[in-house]
């Protein structure tokens, strides 16, 4: 069980995307997130926690659970020792399976604090396979014309997934 000086406090980095990181003195994060952030953490004293590894305080126990968003992404379950209340914080999550990271774990809780960029009902995206089929058809068309298409995506997460699917289609 990880030990920590709770009087000094800590923060949580849920995953290695720049909009979820900051200069934290004592961040708790997964080892994979720590590796991805690398030198970014050089002025920090990170607490690296594997999924399901209890992080104990006098009043609470925190465990990290897979968020499915990208390599190393985590949700934090904080359980009160006194009341048993379970609060779950998520950064970004992804419910569909990914070939590049741990799948989302649905965690039972009393209170959920969730990132909801696309949580409104009007955000409905087409199925992934439909998007990939269209993208691959377009890439093949450009390649057949002798073009050199450039495919871009977020540095961490979507780019790795897209590369995985492109390799499967022989498009690299």
Q: Which domains does the chain have, with CATH numbers?
A: 11-113 (3.60.15.10), 128-168 (no CATH)
Number of alpha helices (DSSP H) and beta strands (DSSP E) in the chain = 3, 8
pTM of the model: 0.81
The pLDDT of residue 94 is 87
The pLDDT of residue 6 is 54
Q: Tell me the average pLDDT across 46-53.
A: 94
Exposure class string for 38-47: b at 16+ Cβ within 10 A, else e: eeebeebebb
Q: Under a CB-based contact definition with an 8 Å cutoff, are residues 115 and 139 in contact?
A: no
The pLDDT of residue 1 is 45
| Residues 117-144: tens digit of each pLDDT | 777 888 888 998 999 999 999 999 999 9
């Amino acid at each position: 069980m990880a030990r920590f000086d709770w009087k000094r406090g800590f923060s949580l980095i849920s995953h290695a995307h720049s909009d979820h990181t900051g200069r934290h003195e004592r961040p708790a994060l997964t080892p994979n997130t720590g590796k991805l952030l690398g030198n970014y953490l050089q002025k920090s004293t990170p607490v690296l926690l594997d999924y399901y590894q209890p992080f104990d305080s006098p009043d609470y126990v925190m465990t990290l659970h897979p968020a499915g968003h990208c390599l190393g992404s985590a949700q934090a379950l904080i359980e009160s020792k006194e009341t048993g209340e379970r609060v779950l914080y998520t950064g970004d999550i992804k419910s569909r399976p990914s070939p590049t990271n741990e799948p989302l774990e649905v965690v039972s809780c009393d209170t959920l604090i969730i990132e909801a960029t696309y949580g409104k009902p009007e955000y409905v995206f087409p199925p992934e396979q439909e998007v990939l089929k269209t993208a691959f058809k377009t890439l093949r068309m450009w390649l057949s014309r002798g073009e050199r298409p450039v495919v871009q995506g977020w540095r961490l997460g979507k780019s790795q997934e897209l590369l995985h699917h492109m390799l499967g289609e022989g498009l690299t």
